[in-house]
Structure 1
């Protein structure tokens, strides 16, 4: 299943309205620690959207994220059009810079696409709250409306 969305912190309703966006479990930074808020500030322009850069050429960056149960990948900023595919089924919790927290379930092979207009971005983290490893492949399109962030 594939869904195209246009995320922006100026209009974060895409997260609520998009199919497969997960279950809203918190708003207004409810449950966020001071450390988590500080991390979002520190990583507000972090373009490392995966834990390992697998490949890059003039058109795309291909990333991998592997999270054991209980592991978390720090806050990071998406500015480029991209898609990810869940390699295995699992469950995550994601905090987003608009102060929301969501629980998201994934099926193996599930893919979601995101498109960003100029100036739009998505700043979030991801934590494995399930009991199996989470593995994602993310592909960023370097010819997007926004310039790539430095790595």
Structure 2
């Protein structure tokens, strides 16, 4: 089985995938909006996204995305910055590497659902 997205790798390591954010602030048939808040040094659990999403930073700075495969990607997410992700990516987690609280809104577009099947 191809494990391009790391679902099997997570299961093999007994990692239970978490939510993409801390809490849902709004949801309807079109979108789901999450709050993501990370204090300095805090990490959100490994998770995977099944929908395209927009991240809007309300505050923070440097973050690190770590995939289940160990790849680390540094991001700069100061207040007002945003990123639109329109492709499925491997299981990953996010760590706040700055000295400031990271706060964002992650908005999933529910009209598209990605699957892990080959």
Same fold (TM over 0.5): yes
Matched, 1:51 2:22: yes
* Counterpart-to-counterpart distance in 2, 1:130 and 1:52: 22
Question: Aligned residue for 1:75?
Answer: 46
Task: Compute the TM-score of the two structures, normalised by the length of structure 1.
Answer: 0.63
Greater displacement, 100-109 / 56-65: 100-109
Once the two structures are superposed, the pairs formed by residues 83-102 of structure 1 within 5 Å of their partners are: 83-102=54-73
Question: Aligned residue for 2:9?
Answer: none
* Counterpart-to-counterpart distance in 1, 2:48 and 2:83: 17
* Counterpart-to-counterpart distance in 2, 1:139 and 1:122: 18
Once the two structures are superposed, the pairs formed by residues 96-111 of structure 1 within 5 Å of their partners are: 96-111=67-82
Q: Specify which structure has the higher proportion of helix.
A: 1
Question: Aligned residue for 2:112?
Answer: 144
**After TM superposition, where is structure 1 displaced by more than 2 Å over at least 4 residues in a row?**
none
Question: Aligned residue for 2:13?
Answer: 38
Cα deviation 1:11-67 (Å, max 9, x = unaligned): 9xxxxxxxxxxxxxxxxxxxxxxxxx836x321xx4x21011111110000001111
* Equivalenced residues, count: 107
Task: Compute the TM-score of the two structures, normalised by the length of structure 2.
Answer: 0.79
**Pairwise CA RMSD:** 2.2
Question: Aligned residue for 1:126?
Answer: 94
Unpaired segments of 5 or more residues in structure 2? 6-11
SS at match of 2:99: coil
Unpaired segments of 5 or more residues in structure 1? 1-8, 12-36
